Amino acid sequence: MSILGHINLEKFLNKTKGAVRGRLVTDAKDRVYSADYKWTTTSDGYLLVSRANDSGDQVKINPVINLDESLIAFFGLYSGDGSKGSEKADNPKVIVPTISFSQREPNLVRFALDQFRRLFPGTIHFVFSLGEDSAFFMDGEGREMLKKHYGGKIPPTPPLNKLRTKLNPADEQYLKEKRPVQGSNEEHLAFYYFHKDAMQEILTLVKENDLKKSGVVLRKDDNATASLRRPFKKGARGPGGSSRSDEMHVGGINGFGELFLKMLHEIEETIYADSKSSSQSLIEWCDQPSKLGELVDVKDFFLKNSYGNLAGKRPKISEDGDSLIGCWPHSSEIQLSHKISIDPLFCYVAGLYLAEGSTPKSVMFSMFSKPVTGLSFGFTSSENVSIELVLRSLQKIFRPDDSLSSWKIKVGSQYFPELVVIGLKHGVAMLRGGESGDGKMRTMEISLSLKKWALDVAPSLIPFADKYSHVEPTGAGLARIDFSASSSLCRWFFPLLVYAVFSNQIKQPARQFINA
């Protein structure tokens, strides 16, 4: 573990007199956050930070926090999977940050938990919640669980008017909606209310068991809960369908969200700009970020390090002038750099990719202990900074051509009407691909019309402009950019990513990762 920089909390608070101001551009939303803090120093040298208006908690924290590889990776992970807060009801341009983290993979849950406890050494607690669409319990695995819960027979659902004499506005809205599923909205709503307690008990138990398997020990104030949505509202497309989400809410730090977001943003900004300190000195690196970090000899790493051993196998590596040529068994040759520095950029991207990358999380950990197939690299974002950071980290070790093989634009159904109009402007209809319509957009005019938008949003893709393949109409969400890289780089890049995040705690990845 090396100390690569510091979060100078006390210095920052003194300088700004406790004022925290910031701008957040995520999901194509431009919002600001602001809060004022006061602080005192305890006899054992910690700061007790609270909101100037006394709302929220008093948070115990170090005046100077050391930034090592794990903590930098944690901020990358939080950037991908963490909550940025919710908009103020009366002013959507202002965000009120809350600190919670959405992840299910046991190694990542445990890692995030450790980092939160390290960052906030005072009395924090966690609420682990499992969210699910109640349609999950209507068929298949969920129905079986419900049956077991009732002792072998699910009691028949009474009619809605017997269960709810008065409907709330959300119920009324639900009943008005139209869905291409069997049964009426009344029946579905009745199912939800009649089995709600049972479904919640089942899911809470599922969550508790998952946490046990992850090796997460719940402390006195920690607990597991479950939340259910009305059938088909959360994303299940049919009875028995799942739309599970796993959240980790951090308690005991209410009101600290703005300061936490500020840390996250200034870490990201300084890494992006490769600058030694942030504008208000909250973040100070030991040197220019690109000059920091362990310099890993790539050949040595893959021939000797425990992280370079995948399921008992190691690659062949030969020298080729200024670069290396590497080849894993049953894979293709790829050109590699001799050295790679595990600098703040690489650590941050390691966390970010573990959160946001398209590779199944379980594979990233199980690849050390058992053979895996079908490895692929994909990254989706609506922000240039994230895309550029990932591309830069790839190019630290691979040739540009291997770092990006193609890119596309994914557009959620909310923006299909806009796509239709773009087609009409060219006199063509929007033709979708695939049976459910989420394949490659067939109408080239629409795909080509959006290429300029993507390159303006993500100028880091300009060198790869000719690798743009298509628009992909997809389930939900705003328009975002998705790129993939050569699959032959996965067995080189992923071990290094996992090494950057976990090598401080895990020395034998083949044995020590959970479920590995």
Partner 1 sequence: MLNYILFSEIDFSKLKLSREYAEWLKVRLDESCGQIELGSVSASICIQGVLSELLLFGKCKTDWLGILNCYLEDEKRMPLAYSSEYGQKLYKFNHWKQTTIQAIHAHWWIKKQSGIGQEGLTCYEDLVEEFIQPNGWIYNPEVSNTGISTRMKSELTMSVAMGLEVLGDKRLTEKLKKSFEATLCSMPFTGYLGAEYFRLRALRIIDSMELTPAQIKEVLETCRAGEGYCDFSIESKVDDYMGTAKRTSRDKATHSAISGLHAKYIAEFLGEAGESTILKLKEFGLHLKKNPFDMPAFRMRDIDIPFGEDVTPFEIMAASYLISGADE
Contact status: 184 vs partner 1 (CB under 8 A): no
Contact status: 375 vs partner 1 (CB under 8 A): no
Contact status: 172 vs partner 1 (CB under 8 A): no
Count of residues binding partner 1 (CB under 8 A)? 64
Q: Which of 329, 431, 463, 515 binds partner 1 (CB under 8 A)?
A: 431
Q: Which of 265, 396, 432, 491 binds partner 1 (CB under 8 A)?
A: 432
Q: Which of 121, 312, 463, 475 binds partner 1 (CB under 8 A)?
A: 475
Contact status: 2 vs partner 1 (CB under 8 A): no
DSSP E strands, 97-179? 100-102, 125-133
Cα Rg of the chain (Å, integer): 25
How buried is residue 161: exposed, middle or buried, by Cβ count under 10 Å (0-12/13-18/19+)?
exposed
In the complex with partner 1, the residue whose CB is nearer, 360 or 477, is 477
Contact status: 192 vs partner 1 (CB under 8 A): no
Distance CA 124, CA 381 (A): 31
Contact status: 88 vs partner 1 (CB under 8 A): no
Contact status: 456 vs partner 1 (CB under 8 A): yes
Q: Which of 417, 463, 507, 511 binds partner 1 (CB under 8 A)?
A: 417
Q: Which stretch binds partner 1 (CB under 8 A): 77-85, 118-126, 177-185, 215-223?
A: 177-185
State the minimum distance, in angstroms, from the CB of residue 461 to partner 1: 12
DSSP assignment of 255-271, as one string?
T-HHHHHHHHHHHHHHH
DSSP assignment of 468-506, as one string?
EEEEEEESSSS-EEEEEE-GGGHHHHHHHHHHHHHTTT-
Q: Which of 198, 363, 448, 514 binds partner 1 (CB under 8 A)?
A: 448
Contact status: 418 vs partner 1 (CB under 8 A): yes
Distance of CA 469 to the CA centre of its chain: 25
Nearest to 239 by CA among 134, 139, 133: 139
Distance CA 343, CA 348 (A): 9
Contact status: 468 vs partner 1 (CB under 8 A): yes
State the minimum distance, in angstroms, from the CB of residue 282 to partner 1: 25
Residue 450 is encoded by which pair of tokens? 């959006």
Nearest to 157 by CA among 107, 192, 112: 192
Q: Which of 92, 159, 312, 371 binds partner 1 (CB under 8 A)?
A: 92
Q: Which of 428, 504, 512, 514 binds partner 1 (CB under 8 A)?
A: 428
Distance CA 334, CA 353 (A): 21
Q: Which stretch binds partner 1 (CB under 8 A): 120-128, 283-291, 451-459, 507-515?
A: 451-459
Q: Which of 329, 476, 507, 515 binds partner 1 (CB under 8 A)?
A: 476
DSSP assignment of 332-365, as one string?
--EEE-SEEEE-HHHHHHHHHHHHH-SS-HHHHH
DSSP assignment of 185-246, as one string?
HHHHHHHHHHHHHHHHHHHHHHHHHHHHHHTPPP-TT-EEEEEEESTTTSS--STT----EE
Contact predicate 441/432, CB 8 Å: yes
Q: Which of 159, 329, 421, 515 binds partner 1 (CB under 8 A)?
A: 421
Contact status: 167 vs partner 1 (CB under 8 A): no
Contact predicate 128/248, CB 8 Å: yes
Contact predicate 36/255, CB 8 Å: no
Contact status: 158 vs partner 1 (CB under 8 A): no
Contact status: 228 vs partner 1 (CB under 8 A): no
Residues within the interface to partner 1 (CB under 8 A):
25, 27-30, 92, 173, 177-180, 232-233, 237, 382, 406, 413-422, 424-437, 439-440, 442, 444-450, 452-453, 456-457, 466-470, 473, 475-476, 478-479
